Chain A
Amino acid sequence: MIVSSIKTFGKYCMFLTQVFRTPDKWRVFFSNLLFEINKLGVDSIPLVLIISLFIGAVICIQMTLNIVSPLIPSYSTGLATREILLLEFSSTMMCLILAGKVGSNIASEIGTMRVTEQIDAMDIMGINSANYIVMPKIMGFILFVPVLCVFSMFFGLVGGWFIAEFTSMLTVENYIFGIQSFFNEWYVWYGIIKTVVFAFLITSIAAFYGYYVKGGALEVGKASTNAVVSSSILILLADVILTKLLLE
């Protein structure tokens, strides 16, 4: 078990050295990069938007319901909602959700290319297939994921605002005051740094699983499940480490 994990990790590192090479043609690389930014990043905006709105709203409700002590000032609902969104939700939770969407997409796409010999076809032409296929995906997602993170923070707060505006649980003034008080800009950067690391994990692990698929359609499905599971676990592990490093 331990030996095989170490072996897999070694293979993963070797894979990354294949991926991070100078592209054969920069022009082709940039056009692929734009394509991937669009496919992996821009197309994830609706999902991120909807989830952030709802979770923002739910966090706001939970905070209002649970902070009922007269000792705690009423603006703390907004404050707590903001901190949860900035610190954990818009980075870690969002990336766990994107691991499902983007990770399975990448693993199944590359896996299918492997089993239908499209990757062999590239290798035969003398193209570094790992570099050609995978690097635009990793770079594209890493470049765009900060945008998703900031989007998620913003729309999470908007979700909380909906609760303040359309229910009688708390007042809008209180909420707005809450989300503005004791603001620490570093938390936004902390969230963005985390998402970038997670984005790297999601894309590279999914690509790794897809690239080394052997067999047929069934194995492609398995690889995409494994990719999502592994990257989710590693995201949580990285979360612990990064939090320790960045917030202490």
Chain B
Amino acid sequence: MIKAENISKWFDGQRILYDINATFETGKTNLIIGQSGSGKTVFMKCLIGLLQPEEGQILYDGRAIRNMNNDERRLLRTEIGMLFQGSALFDNETVLGNVMFPLKMFSPLSHAGQLERAQFCIDRVGLTNANNKYPSEISGGMQKRVAIARAIALNPKYLFCDEPNSGLDPKTSILIDELLSDITHEYGMTTIINTHDMNSVLGIGENIVFINKGHCDWIGNDKNIFRSKSHSLNDFVFASKLFQEVKLVLEREADYKAQ
């Protein structure tokens, strides 16, 4: 379980995050949703410790990052896997090289054991015949899969994903979402996913934190997101034509029940 308490963050005197409180549960896919530019990435980087929030603290299963010494922080880092928005694969390494990378640096396994583990992760994310290709030679969806394989190589307890399906077609997005959800439940990880995609929200939104212009405006899940009273959330959710239709149906349903 990861807990964020009263997180505030400034950049050059400009406030980006306002006093955010949130809890992300173990064994669930936790979503951080919000418009582009609302501060999701900054919040996630604060959670991981890539950025230092000026106020508030982050607790990993009760351990505050701020109070950790360097060794404890390094140890924590090996328990974290992260999927970056642009995949952040190493250009000069092959697919196998990318997945091998964290193993090569941190795994106590023998070389053969590391190869086996890397191959297991590559198979797990459903990549075939791509081991010797370079990141520039494979599609965006495959890059995401490689990034997931790399992120789970060391069997992390915590998995962070920044917009895992940005730039992917809807079908591939759903496949990636399902993969993340499966992995999370299979290994009991604490998974946190940044997204602005309503398909993901409805597909894997077991616990949802909505951020609007740096404020945490709503916390809930995919079951109650359509029945929220928050204006900003409704603006976000019902922005597209499709969901406006949904809204009409929901309103009609409510009227019908009221009668």
Contact = CB atoms under 8 A, between A and B. Distances in A.
Interface in B88-108: 88-91, 101-102, 104-106
Interface of B: 45, 48, 50, 73-75, 77-78, 80, 82, 84-86, 88-91, 101-102, 104-106, 154
A60 B86 CA distance: 54
A28 B104 contact: yes
A207 to B, nearest CB: 16
A116 B77 contact: no
Given A125-B77, A126-B77, A120 B102 contact: no
For chain A, give the interface size range: 10 to 19
Interface of A: 24-25, 28, 112-113, 116-118, 120-121, 123-127
Closest 3 A/B residue pairs (Cβ) = A126-B77, A117-B88, A121-B88
Given A118-B89, A120-B50, A126-B74, A28 B105 contact: yes
B50 A127 contact: no
Nearest to A112: B91
A124 B82 CA distance: 7
Contact of A124 (B48, B75, B104): B48
Contacts of A113: 90-91
B105 A24 contact: yes
B44 to A, nearest CB: 11
> Chain A interface mostly helix, strand, loop or mixed?
helix
Contacts of B106: 125-126
Given A28-B104, A124-B50, A127-B105, A117 B85 contact: yes
Contacts of B77: 124-126
B118 to A, nearest CB: 14
A187 to B, nearest CB: 39
Contacts of B80: 124
A27 B64 CA distance: 34
Contacts of A121: 82, 84, 88, 90
A148 B189 CA distance: 52
A173 B45 CA distance: 70
Nearest to A25: B105
B13 to A, nearest CB: 17
A118 B82 CA distance: 11
Contact of B91 (A28, A117, A118, A124): A118
